[in-house]
Amino acid sequence: MGSAAITMVERATPRNLRDRELAVRLTFVAKDPNSNPTNSPTLYRTDRGSWLVQGFVVTDPDALAEMDIPEGESVVEIPDRMIQFFTEEGRGVAG
């Protein structure tokens, strides 16, 4: 699963992904080890210095009312234990 893949990302608005090209190379980083059988949340790095986060869509109206979410964006929730994978050390990358 550690190999990169070419994926198409749909552009929702001109601000989305800073109006970059649609093709992006993804590198799998980690799946939540405690989320069997769904294997979600999941983290991916892109070849353009950004992250894609698969998580649980936030639908709580009170939580969403506290955030200023622009059109074309959404909010996902991931557990604290996934934060470790955002660092090179947490991904097992030698520095």
According to DSSP, the residues that pair with 51 across neighbouring strands are 45
Indicate the DSSP class of residue 46: E
The domain segmentation of the chain, as residue ranges, is: 4-86
Q: What is the pLDDT of residue 18?
A: 54
Q: Give per-10-residue mean pLDDT for the chain (95 aa).
A: 47 49 85 82 92 93 92 91 85 63
Phi-psi group of 75: left, alpha or beta (phi > 0 → left; psi -120 to 50 → alpha; rest → beta): beta
Q: What is the pLDDT of residue 35?
A: 83
* Nearest C-alpha neighbor of 6 from the set 21, 77, 17: 21
CB atoms near residue 87 (< 10 Å): 10
0.85 cut: is pTM over it? no
Give the model confidence (pLDDT) of 45-54 as tens digits: 999 999 999 9
Cα–Cα distances in angstroms (integers) from residue 94 to residues 13, 34, 57, in the given order: 37, 25, 33
